[in-house]
Amino acid sequence: MAFDYDLFVIGGGSGGVRAARVAAQGGARVALAEADRYGGTCVIRGCVPKKLMVFASEYPGQIEDARSYGWTVHAGGFDWPAFKTKLHAELDRLEGVYRNILGHQRGRHVRSARAARRRPYGRAGKWPEIFRKAHPAGHRRAPGQARSAGGRGGITSDDIFHLDELPGSILIVGGGYIACEFAGILNGLGVQVTQFYRGAQILRGFDGEARGLISEEMIRAGVALHLGTDILEMGPAGDGWRVKATNGTERVYDKVMFATGRAPNTADMGLAEVGVRLGRRGRGGGRRLQPVERAIGLCHRRRDRPGQPDPGGDPRGHGLCRDGVQCQPDAGRS
């Protein structure tokens, strides 16, 4: 397949789509490859669906507040299938917006495939590209999480949005932002939530006082939070999973969710062959990248909030094209 672009974008998330759009508006010839849905982590499996679930989970508390002001209000059961249908309809709408944005730009080509780089060639240092169906380029489950979830029969945060029905009980393993957020969401939706974290306090890396306060509030709200605790043994028990913990407890849960981190989906892309050195878990090292390459989003090693997903509408995709030579038409051509 011929490679004749000023800018090649791998990943159709917020940063990738914005970089491709801004570059194309400036007259550059642009290609973008995305093996999954457009919108990236934020739109498809992160910020947007989680926020909608947060809103849904807050209504029981609002009903209690109304009662304290004299209203006679009775909450019915939460209709998960109805909510799930509307949730995915909104995600489809947003993905359509991203696709339409790219579709209205001249000089760009969109590929529903995964891109992998081979060795550089030619005086201009351009690369031939190969495409194949594979996983999205943005991120993947971290190796430990994938082994824990898949090998033990658990699920991850990606799977929550596709459950046919809400579980009656769930064990969440992890103490980071994602684990704590889903513990609060599912607890608000009426699920009996237990959370294991092997460390001394949740939300490592956040403000110490805030960590303690959030932990106390989660427990007060009904989350059974166990610190210094991990899974010792886990096996099937009817329709659920029997879990023996390091603190000596043993219980059966309908679902077990592992929220123990993600890693960029940079494996098997041929980055090493073109001189790109990757850091821990395959993250780009920023200054270590080649002059004509940039990593943004989950593929970039961030110092401000290590290990946390990027917020939606990543402006770095815009800045990359605003100050980068790869967005100038005919730049570097032989």
Return the pLDDT at 257. 97
Quickly list DSSP for 20-50.
Answer: HHHHHHTT--EEEE-SS-TBHIIIIISHHHH
pLDDT beneath 50: ranges in the chain = 1, 119, 121-137, 143, 146-147, 286-289, 302-312, 323-334
CA dist 5 and 50 (Å) reads 36
CB 171 within 8 A of CB 295: no
Return the pLDDT at 194. 98
Q: For residue 71, what are the contacts with CB-CB under 8 A and spacing of at least 6? A: none
CA dist 241 and 19 (Å) reads 44
Return the pLDDT at 44. 94
DSSP-based three-state secondary structure for 110 = strand
User: Residues 266-310: pLDDT tens digits?
Assistant: 877 777 776 777 777 666 654 444 555 555 655 555 444 444 444
CA dist 251 and 149 (Å) reads 18
Return the pLDDT at 326. 39
DSSP-based three-state secondary structure for 141 = strand
From its phi and psi, is residue 133 left (phi > 0), alpha (psi between -120 and 50) or beta? beta
Return the pLDDT at 273. 72
Return the pLDDT at 180. 98
The amino acid at residue 329 is P
Indicate yes or no: pTM above 0.85: no
CA dist 4 and 330 (Å) reads 10
Return the pLDDT at 318. 61
CA dist 213 and 239 (Å) reads 35
Half-sphere exposure of 275 (CA within 13 A, CB side): 13
Return the pLDDT at 90. 97
CA dist 174 and 211 (Å) reads 14
CA dist 179 and 186 (Å) reads 11
Return the pLDDT at 284. 62
**Domain architecture of the chain: domains with CATH:** 7-139+264-327 (3.50.50.60), 141-262 (3.50.50.60)
CA dist 204 and 198 (Å) reads 11
Looking at the DSSP bridge assignments, the partners of residue 255 are: 170
